[in-house]
Amino acid sequence: MKKFLALILSAVMAAGCFTACSAPAESTSEDVNSESEIVETVEGIDINIAGMSGPTSMGLVGMLDKSAKGETVNNYNFTLAGAADEITPKLVKGELDIAAVPANLASVLYNNTEGKIQILAINNLGVLYVVEQGETIKSFADLKGKTIYSTGKGTTPEYALNYLLTQNGVDPAADVTIEWKSEATEIVAVLKQNPDAIAVLPQPFVTAAQAQVEGLNVALSFNDEWNALGNGSSLVTGVIVARKAFVEENPAQVAAFLDEFKASTEFINTNVEEGAVLVENLIGVKAGVAKKAIPNCNIKFFEGEEMKAAVSGYLQTLYDQNPKATGGKMPADDFYYAR
């Protein structure tokens, strides 16, 4: 545990009055007083943090690298997971303090735990894409009658896909067949075997798949299609959440985390090549793939009111579509952490 010691400087100077024995002389006195200056600092703690092997964790790599070098306030113990359901039980049990998860899952956790989970920041906007080996899909309306392969059942990919299909006149239950896979690598295998397959993939798996499947094109960007609807909301893919009890017990350390995470997102967006190497070392995505994918991963940092506006607008669109998507109800104001 790293400590930044408080620096206390104090000085007291006094000049006494001196008198001559022979004749009265002018006396002078000077008191120089300086208050003790106390520089308030943060005592770092160990923080257990988790993320998935995709874009939701990519913004963390700069911070994690600095932590390993002892250059952060807190010490971050990172767990990499293949899916969100590996993270949520540990978060609820208190084995994790902070986690990067899909935005709607954060709301579900908040409702299921009666408010014991808070959202600290947004870390990703839209990172989902429709891909195909051809150029037949120009809009979500063109997906009618098709089979779509996707990951993320019960989280952002499912609800965002259903919403965009519905807004384009396609009934997700009747007009398309959605084949759910547990991991993106399974979808890449399908694309290799079936040249007619259509899939939904997040970055950086789109870039990885294009390196393995000849002629694989990005047909649609979820982010672009969502924005084109002009519904006043944003497609929020990933958020950073924490246990409310942890936040209340460690406000200064949480503030330090937010500062360090913000710097980490800025680092990877402005130092793509160096960031890509860290992505390979810490997340397992090849540096060459990460370098191409990072500009399309919409790695962001929003907190406070800006975060609340974006997330609440997104969750409302999901709730209007299916209340189960947000855990049965919209989260209350205490869901949104503000420092």
**pLDDT tens-digit profile of 121-160?**
999 998 899 999 989 999 999 999 999 999 888 777 888 9
Q: Please state the rounded mean pLDDT for residues 164-193.
A: 94
Q: So what's the pLDDT on residue 9?
A: 32
Rounded-to-integer distance, Cα 177 and Cα 219, Å: 18
Copy the structure tokens of residue 326.
């947000």
Strand-pair category, 128-132 with 198-202: antiparallel
Helices (H), 231-303: 244-249, 251-270, 272-283, 287-293
Residue bearing tokens 């208050």: 35
Q: Can you give the pTM of this predicted structure?
A: 0.80
Q: What is the mean pLDDT of the chain?
A: 87
Q: Does 263 have pLDDT greater than 70?
A: yes
Q: So what's the pLDDT on residue 113?
A: 96
> Please, are residues 260 and 301 in contact by the beta-carbon 8 Å criterion?
no
Residue bearing tokens 């974006």: 310
For the chain, the first-to-last Cα distance in angstroms comes to 23
DSSP label at 336? B
| CA-based R_g, the chain, Å | 26
**pLDDT tens-digit profile of 300-331?**
999 999 999 999 999 999 998 889 999 999 99
**pLDDT tens-digit profile of 32-87?**
343 333 335 889 999 999 998 888 899 999 999 999 999 999 999 999 998 888 99
Rounded-to-integer distance, Cα 18 and Cα 27, Å: 6
Strand-pair category, 236-243 with 98-102: antiparallel
